[in-house]
Each structure stands twice: as C-alpha cells, then as structure tokens.
Structure 1
Amino acid sequence: MNRDEAKNILLLYRNPADAEDPQIAEALALAKNDDNLAQWFEKLCARQNALREKFRQIAAPAGLKEQIEAAVKQKLGQAARTTQFDEFKGRLLSALRYDLEKIIFSRRNFALATATVIVALIALATFWFRPQKGDDTFAIYQNQMASVALRGYAMDFMAANPVEIRSYLAKNGAPSDYNFPAALEKIPVTGCAIESWQGKKVSMICFRTGKPLPPGQQSDLWLFVVDRATVKGAPVTSMPQFTKVNRLITSVWTQGDKMYLLGTEGDEQTIRKFL
C-alpha cells in the first residue's frame, strides 16, 4: 500500500472501531511511519471533528428530511439515466463545500452510497448556507470568525515562518498584503487557514503566545484578514475596537482596503499586548 492508497482508505475512517478493518489498520500503520501521511491524517480528523460539532449545534428544521429524500431521489434518478457516471460524480464533488477532492470511487457500490451521502450534504448545505438578507453584516462576520477559532479548525498550511505563510496565502488567492501590528510581529506563527465569507476568501493566521495549551490545540491567537468592502458596516477607523464574543476577546480595525480581526481568549488587557 502506498501513500495515496492509504489516503483514499483513511477517508473512510470515522472512529477507533474502524481500525478493526484490515485495510484501515494497514493504512493507520503506514501513517505511523510516514510523517507526511500522519500530518494529512491529523488534519482530516480535525476537520471531521469540527464538522461534527457544527452539525450537532444545528437543529434540523421542520420538513428537512422530506427535502433531502426528494433531492436524493431526483439526483439518483438523473444519474441512473446517464452513462457518464464519472461526470455525475465530478459535478457532485465540485458542489461540496467541504474538501472531498481526494475521494476515489474504487467500487461501484461504494460510489453509489457515497453519491447518496454527498447529495444529502448538498441539500443540507443549500438550506443552511444560502445567503440570507443581512448575512453580510459586520456582526455576523465577527461571530462567524470567532466561532471558527473557538469550535475547532484544521490549518491548511503549517509553518513557523511568516514569509512562507504569506506566500501560501498569495498563491491560493487569499488576502496576503496585510500588515501586523508591531507587537504581533514578535509572536510566533504556527500556520494559516483560508476561510470563506460571502464567497470571498478570508486569511486566518494562527499564532501561539506561549501559554500552556490543551492537547491537540496548536494556537491561541488568531488574526483574520478580509477585504473591507465585503463586510457591510465594517469599522472605518484604524483605532482598534474591542468586543467580547463568547470566550473570545476581539480587536477590530481597518487599514487601507483590509479589515483585521484579532482574537484570543481573555479580556481587553490580554489582547492589547499584541497590538
């Protein structure tokens, strides 16, 4: 089994009980001896856990089950009428907002089952994530980014070099022409992620302040950078504004055409040290 084959198998991993499957057990064993694969698998598990947590916090609206069933029947009916099943799979995968780009449909039965799950997720995403009136306001943006930091995320790129992080963000079309406050430049970076806001990319730069962290947590200070024009009601001042969002204290300011949101757990005195 090579690395790519192991990745395809580990995409099926959901909990430790799955390790009893011989193929999954072999892939897990390979990951223990392959740093690249181990890092990829760690990110995969983090994304799955974050997604599960978000799903648990969303109450299913009335009639959602019927909407999903109707969507599944319609999409699978269309798939059955076409001989270009690979094209159908591609359309489904591209519609997903979650990263499933590495899935390979190795068996027809698995392909059909996976397609069913994907259609269900598309139906859910259409209902939950469609733009609503007022969804582009500053308050919504602030709460959404704070939730990303507090509820768990997977870094898209891990690095201790700020130059490498900036290069990665630029290469992937996320805001990269940002400026750190002088105090923040002294804080070690751990990596970055690219979040989404109203169809636009948000750069999330992760820092570690040096205080003890819970197991598995790699950062405790986060900076979000977005084009100011995409956030309705964004502050126009370069003076930081402080707001408590759940456990997170946030500082928001604008500079040029960018809006910055810095967040960490604590109070205003805590976050002022990084400005």
Structure 2
Amino acid sequence: MNREEAQQLLELCRPGNVDDRQDPVLAEAFALLETDAELKVWFDQQQALDAQISEHMNSIEVPADLKASILAGMRLHQAHAPAPSPAAAPAPAPKPATDTVNAAIPFTSAAPQGPVAEPSEQAPHTTRPRAWWQSPWTGIAALFVIMMAIMNVPRNTQSTLEESAALAGLPPVIQFLSNEIDQLTAPRLERRDDRAENLTTFLASNHSPTPNTIPDCLGEMPTIGCITYEYEGAKLSMICFKGGQTYHLITADKSTYPDKLPLEPELFQCSGKAFKIWVEGEQVNILSVKGTTEDIPEFI
C-alpha cells in the first residue's frame, strides 16, 4: 500500500472513534502511519480538522419547532397534490347509418323542424394555474432557507463577544502562528528529517534562528521537519516533533521579536491549540501543541 492509498482509507477514520482504529480494513493504512512521518503529520491535521467540523456541527442548536414546520410543509404538499386522472371513458359507439328509405324522404314536414342538434362534447376541464407563491414546494424551500440562515447566525451573541475579547488579548505573533500551524502540511516543510541536530544545522546554515537548547523531553522525540516564517520583520523558525502528538518549537531572536517580551513564561490558548512563551538568553522560544494549556508539558 502506498501513501495515497493509505490517505484514501484514513480519511474514513472519525476522530476519537475507537472502532475505526480497530477496523481491519484500515489496519494496513494504520501500520503505514507508524513508519511514514509525512503521512502521520497529514493524518493528525485531518483529524484535527474533522474534530473542529464535528464540534461546530454538534454545537448548532436545532429550532424547537423545526419538526413541526417540516411536517406542516409535508401536509400542505399532500393537500395540494393533484388528484389521479380518471380512467379514460370508452369511446362512443358509432352512429348507425341512416337507412336508404329515410334518406330518400325529403326533409319536409308540416311543422318546420330544424336539424336535430347533436349533443356537444363536454369541453375539457381546465385548471387555473396556481400562483408560484401558492406552491407547497415554495414553502418547503423557504423553510430550508430559514434553516440555513439559522445555522449561519452566531449561536450566542454573548459567547461570540467573549471569544472576540479573548482573541483580542492574544499576542499577534500567537495568532499568526496558530493560523500557520492550521495550514501546515508535510510538503510545505523546508527540510524533513527525524533528527533534531540535522534540522538545527540546516537552520543555522540558512541564517535562521536556531534554538540554543532543546528541552530534554523534546530532545527524546523524533522530529518531522522544520520551516521558517517572516513576520513583522522578524524571522521565526519552527521545528516539529512527533511524540504521541505533534509539538511545534518556534524560535526567534530577542532583538527582532515583534511582540512584547514576557518577563516570565506565559501561557495562551488559541483555536484549539496551547502556546507557551519564554525568553532564554537572546532568544524567544514558543512551544505549541494541540489542546489546552494543561497539555503543555512541565519540562520548560
């Protein structure tokens, strides 16, 4: 099985679902996942995205009268549905031919008599077309438009304001890094290697910030790769570690760091990720991991 085939199977795996991970159909794909670092990064990102979508969908509050509205629309449609057309009436029997005797008698009589009128055929029944706004489908379509509008309206204005206020309190560099991590894929890495020393050598050769020291616990983890960013005139380098989940260690020079320098290590939370910032000598280090601030390891 190659990577592309494994990705097609792993896309079927629901985040946090134990049964999917034990599915024999996915067993070979999960086995490849253990040996392919790029596939592991891709899978973690896909699972995080699926979890965010699932969380958003589960948070949508269904209107209390939604079921009643749908049933009412169905009843309206049934009431206005056209009745089945009646069976076609049998064709009238042909009129018997006039005998020759009667045909020879001229049409004169004592009492003037007009021609006998044949019974006229009944005019076909016509139904006045219903206006477009009377169509039951219009009501059903309107119902779904309302549903979509409800789904796109913030669930709670107060909670939205609170989230905005919390986001406003984040250092801009944290917001920038959070967005970049969400978009990070293995092909975007500038160098892929499972040894941290090879990545730090690569960063130093490109005059990018290189961490003076790597925390002991991170040092025991294999690496995935590294990437650099330019932000507000500062160069940021990121090394990705693989240890149960993906850790991102970002390093910047203290002299060019674009935000206020923390006096003590600081914790932040943004878009489902936790960040820890601390100053070490002439460098600023940031550690990020998916989850809450409680998921930041205590080895810093």
* Shorter-chain TM-score tier: 0.3 to 0.5
In terms of fraction of residues, the more helix-rich structure is 1
TM-score (norm 1): 0.44
Larger radius of gyration: 2
